[in-house]
Structures are given as structure tokens and as C-alpha cells.
Amino acid sequence: MEYYSNAISQLIQQLSRLPGIGQKSAQRLAFHIINMPQEQVEKLAASMTGARANVRYCKCCQTLTDQELCPICSNPRRDHSVIMVVENPRDMAAYEKTGKFEGVYHVLHGAISPMMGIGPDDIRLKELMQRLQSDVSEVIIATNSSLEGETTAMYISRLIKPTGIKVSRIASGVPVGGDLEYIDEVTLLRALEGRVDL
Ligand code: ZN
């Protein structure tokens, strides 16, 4: 890429390190940025460093937030006795968009994958088990229907069963291998309403 000036090459290289951004997209974005008003570029850069510096994990559900507790965990109108377990904050957002789930969440930040060497200790399971010490009536497992998601669901249900707390799994309206975040709201709701006891 020696035909670009060093500053542009640097920008393209940094952008291409982002997920889903190949060389072509990185070039397109770089030239877009260069043509943006200076003030807008500064806002973009500041919001990136600001988010990185201030975002942390919610003390309760482990989602990303800039407060000690996220808005959902600190909302007294939510039903704190029903916990939906999801793999990542994007899945949580997908369910929030349906506007129909009144419980709270637990974000695992991943799924168990023996193939990738990701074990139960590598996701936020310990934190979930700690939450079960308080008043919890149901845990709804809404991990993806991939092999990893199913493995994780099975593992969690085995952990929770002995506590006597009700464990359910969202219905299979969610296509196999499907990422929750790409599924439409109607399908998500149907999956939630049709959940089955484990
Ligand atoms: Zn939270």
C-alpha cells in the first residue's frame, strides 16, 4: 500500500483490524474519514476513547455499562426473580427491542467451546451462580442454538437443577446455528413464549 501516504496507510491498517472490515472497506472508511469535517472526526475519536475508558461490566448482570449497575438491573419495575441468560450484550439488546421481557438478564460474554478451549471458567458463569443465592424463581437460557450455545445451555441447566430453581430453554423457533442478534423480534418472542423446562 506504498502508494498511499503514511498517515492514510496507518488509518487503513487500523480500521482493517476491526471485525468484518476487510482491506476494501478499510480504504473506503479511511477516505470517508479524511473527507469528514475536522470537528466530526474529533467527536468520533473522542467517543471511541471515551467508551473504551468508561465502559465496564455491570456488577450484577455483567453487561457493558458506564454505571456500577446497568439501567435494567437498577430498574425496580423489572422482575428481578426471572433471569434470562444470553451470550453477549447484543443478544440482550435483541430481546430488549421486543419490549416484552420484564425480567432481568445475565450476560455470559461467550459460550463454552471445548474446540476453542473455552471452558466454564472463561465465561461469566460464577457470577450467575452467585446471583442465584438471592430470590430467583426462573432462569431462562437464551444462548444461541449453535453447538457452543447448546453445550452451554446443557452445562448451566445441570448446575442449576440441584438448587431447585426452575430452568428453561428458549424454544427452537430460533434456527440452528442462528445468532440471536440477527433474528427478528417476532421469532424471538415466539422462542421466549414457547420456552421449555429443562
Ligand atoms: Zn446489569
Please write the tens of the pLDDT for every residue from 123-163: 999 999 999 999 999 999 999 888 899 999 999 999 999 99
Please write the tens of the pLDDT for every residue from 91-112: 999 999 988 899 999 999 999 9
Residue 78 lies in a domain: yes
Q: Which residues are in the CB-under-5-Å shell of ion ligand 1? A: 58, 60-61, 70, 73
- Whether the pLDDT of residue 185 is over 80: the answer is no
- Provide the number of structural domains found in the chain: 2
Q: Give the model's pLDDT for residue 195.
A: 86
Confidence band (pLDDT; 50, 70, 90) for 79? Answer: very high
Confidence band (pLDDT; 50, 70, 90) for 179? Answer: low
Contact 68, 59 (CB under 8 A): yes
Quote the ligand 1 centre to 108 CA distance (angstroms). Answer: 12
Q: Give the model's pLDDT for residue 198.
A: 83
Residues 97 and 175 in one domain: yes
Task: Give the separation between CA 94 and CA 91, rounded to whole angstroms.
Answer: 5
Please write the tens of the pLDDT for every residue from 15-28: 999 989 999 999 99
Range of the domain at 31: 6-54
Residues 87 and 134 in one domain: yes
Residues 45 and 76 in one domain: no
Quote the ligand 1 centre to 76 CA distance (angstroms). Answer: 12
Quote the ligand 1 centre to 183 CA distance (angstroms). Answer: 23
Quote the ligand 1 centre to 111 CA distance (angstroms). Answer: 19
**pTM tops 0.85, yes or no:** no
Quote the ligand 1 centre to 96 CA distance (angstroms). Answer: 13
- Whether the pLDDT of residue 3 is over 70: the answer is yes
The DSSP annotation for 15-59 comes to HTTSTT--HHHHHHHHHHHHHS-HHHHHHHHHHHHHHHHH-EE-T
